[in-house]
Chain A
């Protein structure tokens, strides 16, 4: 596979009103061929009503190695969950 093939991430929305969900990735040259490839690979069984494609290189993601410093500190901050409030009588839905 030569340099002009890029990796793209494919997101599928199964029906209007839902959010796009990550389905997988495809190799393609550019936006046009990425949409075609994604359609051919991921929507063969009626999975999609719309497709969204992002160049994998353009996605900025956290480094898994940094997961500790980024996310662990939140583990013991239970007071951040709104579970310490008492719900007034008569309120049916919160």
Chain B
């Protein structure tokens, strides 16, 4: 089937849900890395300074590299797609199970570094929980990624501090970023059946138990960063890991999927 402008819209048949909870869990990790990597890649050539441009695209490449390893690993567990590209790039939106946070837009540099800080500090706990996994390959991927994550945290933390504790303007922007992004942080530590099953099977330990530690760590830094205060959030926004996304993911996918849909099986 083709549309009027000749873009092939035929999607490969990828099962709606993985059968195994282990696969579903790893797919979440992969989707987080892929979507945040893609979001950051939009900054290529657009960061405030060349040095920051390189920094953001380096982080983007780290994340896409993590995603690649995870997608390839998923395919060794369950035959979901002919290859990692097809799995990463040709699912329907509701089949992506990334957090809402990672798809949030690059409003300005404050939003970018705060999003990175909130995510990477969580990702550290999440990947440390994989180090003793019964799945040795997954443990190895986590171990490799943790070095990258440590750097992402260092970079993002440095900038959250400087902007929060900088000028009135930079503090305002940081405040704005915090009031936009904080409501997505609850989802990072939400526990559901997939995580419970992955924990039972020994794939991961339950990193959501670190939620309190994470809050203490992050809120401590925010205080240092010009006494930033997280907003009162009545209800944390959730749904990404269940495939219920806001309008942001669609924007990302329209870029991300274009080439694979137009030229199925395309390789660089």
Contact = CB atoms under 8 A, between A and B. Distances in A.
Contacts of A41: 50-51, 54
Interface stretch (A11-19, A22-30, A56-64): A22-30
Interface string B88-109: 0000000000000000000000
B158 A28 contact: no
Nearest to B166: A4
A27 B49 CA distance: 8
A82 to B, nearest CB: 46
Interface residues of B, number: 12
The binding surface of chain B is classed by DSSP as helix
B154 A36 contact: yes
A29 B55 CA distance: 15
B158 A32 contact: yes
Contacts of B55: 36-37, 40
Interface of B: 49-52, 54-55, 58, 151, 154-155, 158, 162
17 contacts: A1-B49, A5-B49, A27-B49, A29-B162, A32-B158, A33-B158, A33-B162, A36-B55, A36-B155, A37-B51, A37-B55, A40-B54, A40-B55, A41-B50, A41-B51, A41-B54, A44-B54
Given A28-B51, A36-B155, 20 more contacts: A1-B49, A5-B49, A27-B50, A27-B51, A32-B158, A36-B55, A36-B154, A36-B158, A37-B51, A37-B52, A37-B54, A37-B55, A39-B151, A40-B54, A40-B55, A40-B58, A41-B50, A41-B51, A44-B54, A44-B58
